């Protein structure tokens, strides 16, 4: 018992909260960060906040009250995610309804959940009486309310969602989850998974499955991004979507993971395997390439209940780790009052504050599964308040307290990650007229469960006139979801029984295993037609090749019993194609023959190999389910509006950057290459040859740790020199820039500059000012002028300062401050000129003015030649900082954060409409000193300003040519006023999440310590900068 007590998991986020309140924290803190990403469009946190507030307001006006249950029936899209959050913000619970559910099941759920309103995007729900159907597109129209960032309904005890799952009585049961439990569970999962603002989580699961809760909300509560594929992308080419959307985290079932090639999803950093145990092959293949984790959970409990982190080759694939904010107990399956000894199999029960409320309107079922903890659990956990949930799953403790999952108690199974109550299928079968008794089992032809399907054995009292499998499918199609309908139906004279007179399911499994694939064909839908199928006409090459492809897919063991079906026109259902097979087949047809076939098309009853060819040749692909009934065209148009809004642009953008080899330029290039809307990047590089230029680009990217060899094909090098007329471009390239060639440039990011603290105004003016004028000259000559985003630098103006005030202040400042400010004034005058001439074709320039720039929030690779790091070195090396400096506030951001602003600008996603964005997010220098001390172990003493300067000058004198502060000492002494406590104030409105700014600072300090640049008491360090350390350096010019 002492060991069990040590394994108790204490919840860390038990304070009541709501899901939408947690997400709300990011609407204003990170307004321009991407909340939802699709292959068509990105949605910022500000857009998410405004649109979801609009939806909540519309729902309330339609009569949706706090505490209501709102049906949600939509296809995958960014709009769907926004509407879910809008429902929660209205104080209601959402009840997901699958668009492929049969009408009987949908009606049952609507009635059982007391649903009076359904949000629908295809107009099909108008057939259900007594329900007000709300078209998704109408909810999205209009302006957000003025108080869009406030939460009007914010009750932690309210229901968040009701998830219906398979029930043994023949009807689905609804698991009810409260806001507080889900919100706390999400924070626990985010903490266990290590999710943050940089997370891009794949939303793969159907909305009707509980895995979607983690995929949708976990990234949003921490300021990350939800990546949403369309339904077609999800089933046909999910690997490409993962790559295109730069997904970092995904939770997938083993059967889906088997379709992926690790080499083709390089962005993926963490893979969570759930639903079923992974095979040893999956563990071996993936564990060396990313962080592989095994997760376990149930619909009734937390978001996820356990996690095994960092699986390695040779690990037990059935080890699901430890609890996530909950404790897993192993009890006697027949008596929850008795704990099982360590190493002995028993039933898993879960205790914690995040489990569900119970089953909807089912007190008896709830009481049998959700209960107060027995005395022995209360004694060990010290917790009598948190209930336990009996999962019905079998497992045992490993010696280290982790859970080894063994299987499930009889009655329900998981097939391809979907939980199925066999009793619900049997109840539906027993209602069919000719059936005396039925038994349903999960058939596993390949022995590992990955290709499992449902097989039904039936005692039938009369001939149904057609094959039994066809009859069963036809009768159950209006009662059960397609994944619950048996794909094998075998008639038997008498059901085998055990000595205790129960159905002998082991005997049924044996009978099934003894059958060949050919023998099973006769018991599948269309089986008799397959036996009698005709040879395909030799001229129909499409059908012939398709028949070979299908038999190759299903005959994975080389059994050969289906060889007779090659080049025959057999029904697809007769050979046991799973949903995974159909997804692969649809994708194959689309990729190799160009026909837009969907999985739903292939699932049409009776669809044969030859029918597919006829189907696509007649142009019917994609029209599955159509009928001659009347159609309201305007209703269809309304239903399509959310999709129209998310259509991709006609072509991808071509963007020119004036620097792709500098510290910021390299990060902008990285962001452009990872942006799905950008196809081609042109970079102006000063080099002798294009090859040497590309080598410089690659070298900087390698230092930044983001280069991939296939990036080179998307980068065009234009050799030039910003200090020269026409940007130093050849006459041909200059003409192309002005729009005379065959390249259309859609946007220019002017981020190139010369940074040298000791050069004067005249030396820096050609590069920092004249280049800006040259770019404006080229844009004005374009037939269709492109957009221009200018990245400023140097002095960051305070709010309310006039240009006269700044010009006077900078009259004796550095040449860099002066030239960068003059370039900014040129662009402001250019915008004012456009206002005066009112030329609709010319586009105003946008100015982004950063403060200090540090490394990325993820890698932290900083430019140690920048002033802030020269200062950091000096503070640490002397162990002192001036009192004036310590009280200063410095504007600072990660280089990836500034790059993201540039990308949002060229894509037109900077929603504020401001022509000038001054980046005043930052940190007090006292906090920066705290970070330096914490990361290096060095103490920093505060001294008067005059004393500090004496200490610094003495320190420089001891290393006159190698001291990092020497090149900026004169500049600092002349411009120390920029570091007074009054010079810069924290902004009222933040551009970035404050936590991300601090993360960038901390990561950058760690990097500077690791390369030996910053002195550290906990690392081997030296006063001189190591010559061989790979880091960013400026050009010698």
In sequence order, what are the residues at sequence separation of 6 or more whose Cβ sits closer than 8 angstroms to the Cβ of residue 87?
55, 56, 59, 64, 70, 72, 93, 94, 119
917 neighbors 910 (Cβ within 8 angstroms)? yes
How far apart are the C-alpha atoms of 669 and 790, rounded to whole Å?
15
Handedness of CA 19, 22, 28, 34 (dihedral sign): negative
Label each residue of 261-299 as H, E or C: CHHHCCCCCEEEECCCCCCHHHHHHHCCCCEEEEEECCC
**8 Å CB contact between 856 and 746:** no
DSSP 720-738: --TTSGGGG--HHHHHHHT
Residue 434 backbone phi and psi in degrees, to 5? -85, 0
Calculated CA dihedral for residues 282, 307, 412, 350, nearest 10 degrees:
170
Q: What is the pLDDT of residue 910?
A: 55
Q: Is 501 left (phi over 0), alpha (psi -120 to 50) or beta?
A: left
Handedness of CA 729, 733, 735, 736 (dihedral sign): negative
645 within 8 A of 621, measured Cβ to Cβ: no
Q: Which residue, among 598, 464, 645, 554, has the nearest Cα to 40 in the 3D structure?
A: 645
**HSE, side-chain direction, 13 A CA sphere, residue 926:** 9
658-850, which class in CATH?
alpha beta
Q: CA 106 to CA 71: how far, in whole Å? A: 10
Closest CA to 258 of 232, 231, 276: 276
To 5 degrees, how large is the angle CA 670–CA 729–CA 850? 40
Token look-up 């269709």 returns 784
CA gyration radius, the chain: 32
Orientation of helix 609-617 relative to helix 579-593, angle to 10° = 40
CA distances from 852 to 509, 864, 865, 873, 893 (A): 68, 12, 12, 16, 7
- Alpha-carbon distance of 292 to 310, in angstroms, equals 5
Tell how strand 846-849 and strand 916-918 pair up: parallel
Domain ranges of the chain: 418-515, 528-616, 658-850, 869-887+925-1011
pLDDT reported for residue 884:
87
H or E segment to which residue 346 belongs? strand 346-351
Based on the number of CB atoms within 10 Å of its own CB, is 838 exposed (0-12), middle (13-18) or buried (19 or more)? exposed
Q: Using CA atoms, how far apart are residues 882 and 877, in angstroms rounded to an integer?
A: 14
Q: What gap in Å lies between CA 1012 and CA 1026, rounded to an integer?
A: 7
CA–CA dist 633, 639 (Å, integer): 10
Helix (H) / strand (E) containing 397: strand 388-397
Topology at the third CATH level for domain 418-515 = GMP Synthetase; Chain A, domain 3 (3.30.300)
Distance separating alpha carbons of residues 935 and 1016, to the nearest angstrom: 8
C-alpha atoms less than 13 angstroms from C-alpha of 630 in its C-beta half-sphere: 2
Task: For residue 858, give the nearest of 1006, 639, 661 by alpha carbon.
Answer: 1006
User: Three-state DSSP class for 1005?
Assistant: helix
Distance CA 797, CA 805 (A): 10
Cβ(431)–Cβ(475) under 8 Å?
no
- What pLDDT, on a 0 to 100 scale, did the predictor assign at position 561? 62
At how many degrees (to 10) do helices 815-837 and 771-781 cross? 20
Q: Which helix (H) or strand (E) holds 242?
A: helix 238-244
Helix (H, G, I), strand (E, B) or coil at 976: helix
- pLDDT for the residue numbered 644: 44
Helix axes 579-593, 541-554, angle to 10 degrees: 150
Q: Are 681 and 716 in contact (CB under 8 A)?
A: yes
> Residue 64: what pLDDT?
94
Rounded-to-integer distance, Cα 453 and Cα 707, Å: 43
Task: Tell me which residue has tokens 């990403």.
Answer: 37
Structure tokens at 810: 């900078």
Burial (CB count <10 Å: 0-12, 13-18, 19+), residue 936: buried
Q: Distances in Å between the alpha carbon of 52 and those of 47, 81, 687?
A: 8, 9, 50
CA angle, 266 then 272 then 278, to 5°: 105
Task: Give 1022-1032 pLDDT, tens digit per residue.
Answer: 433 344 445 66
Q: How far is CA 410 from CA 231, 253, 427, 442, in A?
A: 33, 22, 15, 11
> What gap in Å lies between CA 15 and CA 27, rounded to an integer?
22
How far is 873 from 855, CA to CA, in rounded Å? 16
Burial class of residue 171 in the structure, from the number of CB atoms within 10 Å of its CB (0-12 exposed, 13-18 middle, 19+ buried): middle
* 3-class secondary-structure state, position 869: helix
CA distance 796 to 816: 12
Residue 375: how many other CB atoms lie within 10 Å: 10
Mean pLDDT, consecutive 10-residue stretches, the chain (1037 aa), reads 83 83 95 92 94 96 94 94 97 93 87 93 73 89 92 93 78 91 95 94 94 96 95 82 94 87 92 89 92 94 90 92 93 91 92 93 90 91 90 91 82 68 82 80 59 82 69 82 85 83 84 82 74 80 86 68 80 77 77 74 82 77 43 46 44 90 93 90 93 91 88 92 94 89 88 83 92 93 90 86 84 86 92 77 88 90 90 94 89 93 83 77 91 92 92 86 82 76 77 88 92 79 44 54
What is the enclosing helix (H) or strand (E) of 4?
helix 2-6
Residue labelled with tokens 């009776």? 606
The backbone torsions φ and ψ at residue 178, rounded to the nearest 5 degrees and listed phi first, read: -85, 155
| Beta strands, E only, 664-774 | 678-685, 715-719, 747-750
Q: What is the 3-state secondary structure (H, E, C) of 62-109?
A: CCCCCCCEEEEECCCCHHHHHHHHHHHHCCCEEEECCCCCCHHHHHHH
Q: How many CB atoms lie within 10 A of CB 434?
A: 15
Give residues with Cβ within 8 angstroms of 706, minimum separation 6.
670, 859
The pLDDT tens digits for 697-727 are 999 998 888 988 888 889 999 999 999 999 9
Closest CA to 853 of 665, 655, 572: 665
Q: How many angstroms separate the CA atoms of 896 and 890, rounded?
A: 18
933, 939, 945, 949 alpha-carbon torsion, rounded to 10°: -100
Which helix (H) or strand (E) segment is 905 a member of?
A: helix 895-906
């Amino acid at each position: 018992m002492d060991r069990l007590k040590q394994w108790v998991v204490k919840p860390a986020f038990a304070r009541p909260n709501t899901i939408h309140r947690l997400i709300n924290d990011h609407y204003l803190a990170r307004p321009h960060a991407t909340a939802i990403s699709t292959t068509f469009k990105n949605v910022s946190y500000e857009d998410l906040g405004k649109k979801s507030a609009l939806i909540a307001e519309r729902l309330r006006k339609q009569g949706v009250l706090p505490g209501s249950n709102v049906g949600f029936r939509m296809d995958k899209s960014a709009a769907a995610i926004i509407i879910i959050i809008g429902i929660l913000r209205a104080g209601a619970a959402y009840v997901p309804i699958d668009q492929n559910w049969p009408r009987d099941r949908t009606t049952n759920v609507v009635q059982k959940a007391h649903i009076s309103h359904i949000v629908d995007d295809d107009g099909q729900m108008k057939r259900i009486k007594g329900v007000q159907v709300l078209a998704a597109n109408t909810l999205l129209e209009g302006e957000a309310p003025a108080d869009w960032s406030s939460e009007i309904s914010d009750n932690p005890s309210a229901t968040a969602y009701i998830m219906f799952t398979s029930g043994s009585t023949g009807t689905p049961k609804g698991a009810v989850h409260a806001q507080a439990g889900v919100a706390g569970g999400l924070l626990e999962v985010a903490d266990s998974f290590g999710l943050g603002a940089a997370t891009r989580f794949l939303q793969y699961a159907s909305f009707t499955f509980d895995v979607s809760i983690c995929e949708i909300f976990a990234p949003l509560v921490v300021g990350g991004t939800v990546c949403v594929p369309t339904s077609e992308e999800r089933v046909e080419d999910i690997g490409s979507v993962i790559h295109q959307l730069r997904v970092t985290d995904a939770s997938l079932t083993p059967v889906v993971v088997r379709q992926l090639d690790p080499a083709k999803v390089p962005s993926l950093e963490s893979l969570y395997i759930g639903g079923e145990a992974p095979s040893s092959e999956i563990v071996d293949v993936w564990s060396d390439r990313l962080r592989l984790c095994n997760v376990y959970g149930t619909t009734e409990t937390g978001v996820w209940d356990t996690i095994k982190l960092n699986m390695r080759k040779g690990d037990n694939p059935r080890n699901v780790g430890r609890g996530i904010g909950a404790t897993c107990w192993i009890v006697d399956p027949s008596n929850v009052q008795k704990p099982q000894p360590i190493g002995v199999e028993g039933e898993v029960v879960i205790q914690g504050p995040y489990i569900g409320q119970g089953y909807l309107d089912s007190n008896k079922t709830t009481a049998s599964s959700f209960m107060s903890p027995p005395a022995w659990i209360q004694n060990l956990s010290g917790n009598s308040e948190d209930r336990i949930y009996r999962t019905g799953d079998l497992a045992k403790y490993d010696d280290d307290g982790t859970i080894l999952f063994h299987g499930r108690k009889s009655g329900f199974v998981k097939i391809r990650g979907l939980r199925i109550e066999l009793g619900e299928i049997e109840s539906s079968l027993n209602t069919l007229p000719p059936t005396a008794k039925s038994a349903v089992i999960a058939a596993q032809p390949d022995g590992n469960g990955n290709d499992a399907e449902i097989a039904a054995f039936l005692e039938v009292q009369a001939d149904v006139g057609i094959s039994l499998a066809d009859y069963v499918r036809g009768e159950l199609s209006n009662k059960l979801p397609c994944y619950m309908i048996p794909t094998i139906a075998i008639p038997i004279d008498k059901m085998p029984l055990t000595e205790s007179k129960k159905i002998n399911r082991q005997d049924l499994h044996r009978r099934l295993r003894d059958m060949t694939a050919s023998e099973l064909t006769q018991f599948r839908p269309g089986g008799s037609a397959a036996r009698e199928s005709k040879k395909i006409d030799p001229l129909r090459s499409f059908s012939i090749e398709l028949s070979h492809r299908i038999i190759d897919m299903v005959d994975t063991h080389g059994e050969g019993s289906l060889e007779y079906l090659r080049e025959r026109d057999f029904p697809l259902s007769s050979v046991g194609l799973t949903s995974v097979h159909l997804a692969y087949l649809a994708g194959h047809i689309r990729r190799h023959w160009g026909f837009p076939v969907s999985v739903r098309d292939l699932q049409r009853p009776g669809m044969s190999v030859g029918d597919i060819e006829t189907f696509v040749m007649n142009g019917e692909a994609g029209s599955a389910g159509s009928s001659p009934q009347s159609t309201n065209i305007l209703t269809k148009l309304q239903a399509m509006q959310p999709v129209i809004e998310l259509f991709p642009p006609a072509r991808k953008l071509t963007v020119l950057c004036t620097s792709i080899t500098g510290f910021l330029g390299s990060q902008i290039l990285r962001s452009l290459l990872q942006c799905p809307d950008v196809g081609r990047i042109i970079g102006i590089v000063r080099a002798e040859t294009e090859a040497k230029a590309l080598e410089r680009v690659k070298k900087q990217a390698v230092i930044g740790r983001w280069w991939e060899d296939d990036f080179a094909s998307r980068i065009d090098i234009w050799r030039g020199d910003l200090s020269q007329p026409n940007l130093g471009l050849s006459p041909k390239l200059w003409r192309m820039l002005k729009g005379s060639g065959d390249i259309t440039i859609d946007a220019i990011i002017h981020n190139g500059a010369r940074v040298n603290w000791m050069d004067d105004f005249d030396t820096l003016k050609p590069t920092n000012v004249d280049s800006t004028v040259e770019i404006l000259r080229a844009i004005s000559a374009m037939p269709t002028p492109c957009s221009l985003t200018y990245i400023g630098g140097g002095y960051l103006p305070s709010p309310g300062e006039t240009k006269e005030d700044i010009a006077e202040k900078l009259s004796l400042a550095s040449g860099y401050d002066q030239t960068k400010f003059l370039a900014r004034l040129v662009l402001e005058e250019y915008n004012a000129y456009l206002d005066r001439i009112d030329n609709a074709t010319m586009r105003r320039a946008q100015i982004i003015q950063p403060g200090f720039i540090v490394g990325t929030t993820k890698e932290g690779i900083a430019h140690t030649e920048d002033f802030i790091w020269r200062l950091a070195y000096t503070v640490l090396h002397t162990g002192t900082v001036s009192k004036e400096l310590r009280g200063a506030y410095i504007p600072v951001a990660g280089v990836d954060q500034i790059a993201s602003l540039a990308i949002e600008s060229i894509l037109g996603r900077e929603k504020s409409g401001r022509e000038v964005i001054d980046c005043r997010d930052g940190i007090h220098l006292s906090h920066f000193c705290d970070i330096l001390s914490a990361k290096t172990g060095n103490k920093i003493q505060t001294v008067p300003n005059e004393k500090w300067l004496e200490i610094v000058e003495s320190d420089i004198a001891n290393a006159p040519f190698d001291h990092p502060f020497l090149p900026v000492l004169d500049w600092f002494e002349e411009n120390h006023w920029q570091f007074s406590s009054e010079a810069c104030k924290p902004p009222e409105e933040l551009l970035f999440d404050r936590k991300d700014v601090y993360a960038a600072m901390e990561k950058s300090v760690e990097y500077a310590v690791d390369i030996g640049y910053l002195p550290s008491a906990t690392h081997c360090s030296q006063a001189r900068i190591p010559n061989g350390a790979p880091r960013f350096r400026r050009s010698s010019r």
